[in-house]
């Protein structure tokens, strides 16, 4: 039942920072450094892949695409968060909030399918190595990235429509650091059942379908690895997949809890922290994970540093 005291909606107000008023400047500096490290780390990954001919392979084409995606993904939320840390006006417009949620969902969904594409690339490389270059041609790689971008676009338009046609009541205070579906749903003064069902269904499609593709790819990969006679060979092959597995585990674990778990006051607090984790910290960690656990990337970085030292 819709409450009678709902008001005309103009702006939402972020209260994710209200319980830490004395730490505003510290948080600003901390998140600014995180944002700069995301831009620098992912930018460095893009640069070495573009400039090093030895990294001109499908695997690194997808890694470059992921690095671009992480920069855009964090740019949806972090600049507004930084402004809010040093501003008295911690508001976002109705349209701005809808746009922010849409791009978080769209880019997050794109990352899910891109991670599935990267798993398929590893499957072909390990399970069908003789035909790898033939199968993973440039046209297919580009097509898979474009498909990752477009496949979830209409799903989130429907989600945004359902969410922002609801009436909103009271102070319009969002208990989060940025606009996201669970905290915005808390403000609705109407039955949110349809929106919640759609959110879970869309999350199941965007999260579970790519995860099943990833799982199927790694089942095949593991079966091939176990048949290898050499222990050293097994370690070498598994090393090429370990970075991807770590990123998948971190991203899917936190995103699944936020969008698929039942809502309660306790989970909203946990979700506020987890949403920061998968939208900000994972993009910061990705370049570190891929550079520390990938031999070719480490070799390329050493060459770049030696070149810089010689300048």
The secondary structure of 121-172 as a DSSP string is HHHHHHHSGGGHHHHS-HHHHHHHHHHHHHTTHHHHHHHHHHHHTS-BBTT-
pLDDT-above-90 percentage for the chain: 35
Beta bridge partners of 169: 6
Question: Using one digit for the tens of pLDDT, what is the confidence trace for 138-150?
Answer: 999 999 999 999 9
Q: Is residue 213 scored above 90 in pLDDT?
A: yes
Q: Is residue 18 scored above 70 in pLDDT?
A: no
What local confidence, expressed as pLDDT, does residue 43 receive? 94
Q: Which residue has the higher pLDDT, 81 or 204?
A: 81
The mean per-residue pLDDT over the stretch 124-130 comes to: 91
Would you place residue 9 in the very low, low, confident or very high pLDDT band (cuts 50, 70, 90)?
A: low
pLDDT-above-70 percentage for the chain: 88
pTM: 0.87
What local confidence, expressed as pLDDT, does residue 260 receive? 60
Q: Give the N- to C-terminal CA distance of the chain in Å, as an integer.
A: 69
CA dist 93 and 161 (Å) reads 16
Give the residue among 26, 18, 209 at the shortest CA–CA distance from 109: 209
């Amino acid at each position: 039942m819709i409450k009678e005291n709902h008001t005309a909606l103009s702006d939402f107000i972020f209260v994710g920072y209200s319980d830490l008023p004395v730490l505003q400047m510290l948080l600003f500096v901390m998140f600014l450094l995180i944002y700069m490290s995301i831009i620098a780390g992912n930018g460095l990954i893009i640069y070495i892949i573009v400039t090093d001919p030895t990294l001109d392979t499908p695997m690194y084409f997808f890694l470059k695409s992921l690095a671009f995606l992480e920069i855009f993904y964090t740019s949806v939320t972090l600049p507004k968060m930084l402004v809010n840390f040093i501003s008295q006006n911690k508001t976002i417009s109705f349209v701005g909030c809808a746009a922010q949620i849409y791009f978080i969902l769209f880019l997050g969904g794109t990352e899910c399918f891109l991670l599935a594409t990267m798993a398929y690339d590893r499957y072909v490389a390990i399970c069908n190595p003789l035909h790898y270059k033939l199968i993973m041609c440039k046209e297919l790689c580009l097509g898979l990235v474009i498909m990752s971008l477009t496949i979830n676009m209409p799903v989130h338009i429907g989600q945004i429509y359902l969410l922002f046609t609801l009436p909103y009541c009271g102070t319009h205070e969002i208990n989060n650091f940025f606009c996201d579906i669970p905290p915005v749903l808390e403000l609705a003064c109407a039955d949110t059942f349809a929106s919640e069902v759609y959110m879970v269904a869309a999350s199941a499609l965007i999260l579970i379908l790519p995860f099943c593709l990833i799982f199927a790819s790694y089942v095949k990969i593991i079966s091939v690895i176990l048949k290898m006679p050499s222990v050293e060979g097994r370690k070498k092959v598994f090393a090429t997949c370990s970075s991807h597995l770590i990123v998948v585990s971190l991203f899917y674990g936190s995103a699944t809890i936020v969008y698929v778990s039942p809502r309660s006051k306790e989970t909203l607090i946990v979700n506020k922290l987890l949403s920061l984790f998968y939208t900000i910290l994972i993009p910061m960690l990705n370049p570190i994970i891929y550079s520390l656990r990938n031999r070719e990337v480490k070799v390329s970085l050493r060459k770049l540093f030696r070149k810089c030292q010689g300048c």
